[in-house]
Amino acid sequence: MIQECSYCKEDNQLIKQYNYWRVSLHPNQCYLGRCRIVLNRHLEDLTEINDDEQKELFSIMKNLRQVIIDLFGANLFNYTSAGNVTRHLHLHFIPRYNHEVEFESQRFKDENWGRNHAPYPKDFRFPEAILTAIKQKISSQL
């Protein structure tokens, strides 16, 4: 039996839809502005994307990076594409901060600054209203 792909379904964390990709807010915001960049079509390996998809991906990454710098003051970015759990091509876009950031009266502190982003608190969650505010803030600039 073929397992259904969760990334091929509707995305309730959608920030912006593009021709080939979409940007979604990661539900764990221990790194403020953490997003997923997900290929719209089902594909597993980054090396298999076509030229148009590659061009759009790099444009999205560049724009998203600048938006997160402008909005939240990120100092560094980690990008990962492992595919170990979900076999649908997506990249983790992880802003890093060398300072504490406040947004909507919530404080964000990068406890792993200067090291790999993982391990991180997997159960870190904010109320849906905060996630919506983060999505709207990013969406308004992207």
Ordered by start, the domain boundaries in the chain are: 11-141
Low-confidence ranges of the chain (pLDDT < 50): 1
pLDDT tens figures, 27-68: 999 999 999 999 999 999 999 999 999 999 999 999 999 999
Query: What per-residue string of b and e applies to 64-77 under the rule 16 or more CB within 10 Å gives b?
Result: bbebbeebbebeeb
**Distances from the Cα of 134 to the Cαs of 63, 70, 131, in angstroms?**
16, 13, 5
* pLDDT number for residue 3: 61
The architecture (CATH level 2) of 11-141 comes to 2-Layer Sandwich (3.30)
pLDDT of residue 118: 83
Cβ neighbours, 10 Å, residue 27: 14
Per DSSP, 5 falls in state P
Q: How far apart are CA 56 and CA 34, in angstroms?
A: 19
Cβ atoms of 117 and 93 within 8 Å: the answer is: no
If residue 52 lies in a helix (H) or strand (E), which one and from where to where?
Answer: helix 51-72
Q: What percent of the chain has pLDDT over 70?
A: 98
Q: Which amino acid is at 95?
A: P
